[in-house]
Amino acid sequence: MTTNTTHFGFKQVDSKDKVKLVRGVFDSVADSYDVMNDLMSVGIHRIWKRIAVQLSNVRKDETVLDLAGGTGDLTALFEKRVGKNGQVVLADINAQMLRTGRDRLIDKGLVGNVRYAQVNAECLPFEDNTFDCVCIGFGLRNVTDKDAALRSMYRVLKPGGRLIVLEFSHPTDKITEKVYDFYSFKLLPKIGKFVAKDEDSYRYLAESIRMHPKQDELKNMMVNAGFERCEYYNMTQGIVAIHRGYKI
């Protein structure tokens, strides 16, 4: 009898166990997630997120699904764009991350047009043609079945809707790649140990980035899921990429 396996960082694990293992990582880092994001990227993650929101072309009165929305950075940016008559759904598979994001947004006074949902991206519990935009920021690499998730995102988008995938990706030159590898595998786990008191989770995060599909591969996966006019934008020499596709 064969067992379906997938990667958890560089390890091979039973596919049905990956959700539980990823949940353990983010349960561990939820309270220090924002501080670590600022440290890991020297604050540049805020610029990446603003560019992703700009590329989404979200307008007033539209409806946005912020998948793997975590602590709510992207939701807060989308909320400003959709206005009081629009709506943003902050969604995450991890309850602790979702609670952290909800508390942050409530503290900011964002209570009128933001909803919350604990969901699995592979089987979204929303009706067909619900959202004008689906955005998944730094979350797709943690999904077990990425193809199923992309098909699910396509289904819940309205015709003319946009998918935005903001994700760590693969450097476009050898020098950046070598520096990035040194930082990811030598420095990042130590920063995680010192700040978040969790070296293993940040080692997993570095490994999960390396296992994520390369830019052109992810673009082809989006095409196979039904998206059209697919394109991507490399940022910071390909350390991060933003993919965009449309449901026509």
Q: Domain for residue 30, yes or no?
A: no
The count of structural domains within the chain is: 1
Give the percent of the chain with pLDDT over 90: 68
Most confident of 21-25, 138-142, 216-220: 216-220
Per-chain mean pLDDT for the chain: 90
Which residues, other chains included, contact 168 with Cβ-Cβ below 8 Å and sequence gap of 6+? 138, 141, 209, 212, 239, 240
pLDDT at 2: 42
Instruction: Summarize the confidence of residues 44-54 as an average pLDDT.
Output: 96
pLDDT at 59: 98
Q: Domain for residue 241, yes or no?
A: yes
Q: How far apart are CA 154 and CA 226, in angstroms?
A: 7
- What's the token pair of residue 234? 């490399």
Q: Domain for residue 59, yes or no?
A: yes
Residue ranges of the annotated binding site for S-adenosyl-L-methionine are: 71, 92, 120-121
CB 125 within 8 Å of CB 117: yes
245/39: higher pLDDT: 245
Chain segment 110-130, per-residue pLDDT in tens: 988 999 999 999 999 999 999
CB 178 within 8 Å of CB 22: no
Structure confidence at residue 44 as a pLDDT band (50, 70, 90): very high
Residue 36 pLDDT exceeds 70: no
Structure confidence at residue 10 as a pLDDT band (50, 70, 90): confident
Which residues, other chains included, contact 125 with Cβ-Cβ below 8 Å and sequence gap of 6+? 117, 119
Q: How far apart are CA 109 and CA 28, in angstroms?
A: 27
Residue 28 pLDDT exceeds 70: no
14/34: higher pLDDT: 14
Residue ranges of the annotated binding site are: 71, 92, 120-121
Q: Domain for residue 73, yes or no?
A: yes
Q: Domain for residue 200, yes or no?
A: no
Tell me the three state secondary structure of residue 32. helix
CATH assignment at residue 71: 3.40.50.150
Q: Domain for residue 29, yes or no?
A: no
Residue 112: give the domain boundaries.
46-170+213-246
Q: Domain for residue 166, yes or no?
A: yes
Give the percent of the chain with pLDDT over 70: 91
Which DSSP string corresponds to 199-238? Answer: HHHHHHHHHHHHHSPPHHHHHHHHHHTT-EEEEEEEETTT
Q: How far apart are CA 82 and CA 58, in angstroms?
A: 7
- What's the token pair of residue 103? 């508390």
By the 10 Å C-beta count (0-12 exposed, 13-18 middle, 19+ buried), 112 is classed as exposed
Q: How far apart are CA 87 and CA 239, in angstroms?
A: 31
Q: Domain for residue 28, yes or no?
A: no
Most confident of 39-43, 67-71, 189-193, 239-243: 239-243
